[in-house]
Structure 1
C-alpha cells in the first residue's frame, strides 16, 4: 500500500493477471515435464529447479534493494512498485491485509508477458523450461512469502511455520531486521539465504557508492532520518 494507491482489495484486473500468471507458470512446468526424455534430462531439470529457487532469492534481494533506495512514484515503469514499497516501510503490517491477487498481481503481469511467447513460440527444453517456471514462480510468489514474514506465527498455517523454520521461506525474525535501522540489509524475500552474503560482502554498499560517484544519486538507506523510513505503528498490526 503506497501513498498513491491505498487499496488493499483485489480487482477483477488483479485476479485476471494472477490467473494468467499462474497458468503460464504451470504451462512452463508442464512443458518442462514433456521435454524430459532421459535420466540425464531429469537430473538436469532437478538441478535447474534448485538453481532457480536459489537464484530467485538473490534476484528479489537485488530488486528490493533497488526500489527501496532509488526512484519515486513518478519513476517510469517502476513507480507504482517503488511507491508501494515506501508505503510498506511506513506501515509494514498492512501487507498482511492485502488480498492475495492485490499483493502479487504486479509481479504476475510481467511474468505472464514474458512467459506466453516462450510457451507458444520456443521448442521445449526440460531444464530451461523448469528453470524459468520455478524462477519466475518464486519471484511472483515472493510477495506472498513477504506477507507471511509480516504475520504473527500464531496466525500462520503450520506448514508455513515449518517452512520458515527450515529456512525454505524467509522468516519473520530474518525479515524483521530489514525494518530496523539502518534499513540497509536483509532485502531477500524468498528464503533469505542470500541475505548474509549480500550484507557481509559489502557488494550493495559498493554499488551504492558507484551509483553515487557516477550519477550523484544517494540511496535512501544513507539517511536514517529520511521520511520514507519513518514507520507508523508496529511491525505487526497494533
Structure 2
C-alpha cells in the first residue's frame, strides 16, 4: 500500500504597501496568503503472480526419452548383477537362510527409506534446491495433480532413481561382490527403491486398469495399495509417506515420528515444514479435466 506524502503548506508572503500621510508617518500592512503545492504521487506498483495451468495428459514432459531409457536399463542391470552375485555366492557357500533374511531386511529398509525421503521432499525445499530440486518440484506438484503420475511413461517415471541406484550400487558391487548376505540386502533394497515410483504410480491406478499380478501384490500388502496411499492425499497431508509396501506407515504415524522430526528441525534450524500450512490451494487436488489454475507460491 502506497503512502502518499503529506501536504505541505508553504506560505507566500505578499506585501502590500499602503502609504498614508498622517503626521509624516508611513504605515505598512503585510498580508500572507497560503499557497498549496500539488502533492507528488508515487507510481502505483502492482505485483503479478505467475499462473501455472493444469498439465495435459499428452504433455511431452511425461514422455520417456532415450536418455531416460538408457538410465533405467543401466539401473536394472546394476540391480540384477547385484542379486546374481548374491545367488552365486550363496550357492558357493551353501547358505540360503541368511541371504533371504538379508533380502527381506532390504525390502523393509526400502519402504522405510521411501517414507523418509518422501516426507523430506514433500515438506522442505523447492525447485531451486540443489541436487533435489527437480524431485522436490515433481513431488510437491504431484499433490495438485496426482493423476499425472499414471500418465508418465515407465522410463520417465524411474530414470532419476535409476541414475542414483547406478552410482550408489556399483561401488558396493566392486567392494562386496564376494559377500552374498550384503549383496542380497543391497540388491533388494536398491531394486525396491528404484521401482518405488512405479509402485507409487500403481497406487494411483484403478484395479481394472492394473495387471492382475499387481492387484494381487497390493491386496496381500506386498506393494502399497490404492486405498492405503489415498490417505496421504487427504488433509492434513502429513502421513502415509511410505510408497513401497506401506508396511511402516501405521507405526510411523502412530508414533508421530515425522511430527517429532519436524519439531526438531523447526526449533533447531528454523525450518517450517510445508504440511503445517496445509490445507491450502497448492495441495487441493484437481481432476484431470479441471480447467483451474493455481499460483506458484510453494515454499
Same fold by TM-score greater than 0.5:
yes
State the shift of 1:120 in Å.
3.3
Shift of 1:86: 1.1
State the aligned residue count. Answer: 231
Could you tell me which residue of structure 2 aligns to residue 62 of structure 1?
Answer: 116
**2:153 maps to 1:99:** yes
- Supply the RMSD in Å over aligned alpha carbons: 1.7
Distance 2:203 2:177 in 1: 38
TM superposition shift of 1:121? 4.3
Moved more, 27-36 or 181-190: 27-36
Distance in 2 separating the partners of 1:91 and 1:123: 42
Tell me which of 56, 75, 79 is aligned to 1:25. 79
Give the direction of change, closer, same or farther, for the CA distance of 1:64–1:6 in structure 2 (3 Å limit). Answer: farther
Larger radius of gyration between Structure 1 and Structure 2: 2
What is the CA–CA distance in structure 2 between the aligned matches of 1:182 and 1:209, rounded to whole Å?
A: 16
Deviations 1:36-85 (A, max 9, x none): 1334x311101001111111111100100000000000111000000000
Partners of 1:131 and 1:33 lie apart in 2 by 12
Q: Is the 8 A contact 1:28 1:132 kept in 2?
A: yes
- What is the aligned partner in structure 1 of residue 269 from structure 2? 215
- After the TM superposition, which residues 88-237 of structure 1 pair with which residues of structure 2 at under 5 Å, given as runs? 88-233=142-287
Which string of whole-angstrom CA distances, capped at 9 and with x for unpartnered residues, describes residues 118-154 of structure 1? 2334441101001101001000001000000000111
Structure 1 segments of 4 or more deviating over 4 A? 3-6
Unaligned runs of 5+ in 2: 1-53, 289-299
Which position in structure 2 is the counterpart of 1:43?
97
Aligned equivalents of 1:156, 1:125: Cα separation in 2: 37
Q: Separation in 1 of the partners of 2:180 and 2:240?
A: 33
Residue among 35, 42, 61 paired with 1:7:
61
Contact conserved, 1:220 with 1:226, CA < 8 A, in 2?
A: no
Pair 1:89–1:6, CA change in 2 (3 A): farther
Structure with greater contact order relative to length (CA < 8 Å, sep ≥ 6): 1
The partner residue of 2:137 within 83, 108, 121 is 83
Higher relative strand content: 2
TM-score by length of 1: 0.93
Check the 8 A contact 2:161/2:194 in 1, yes or no: yes
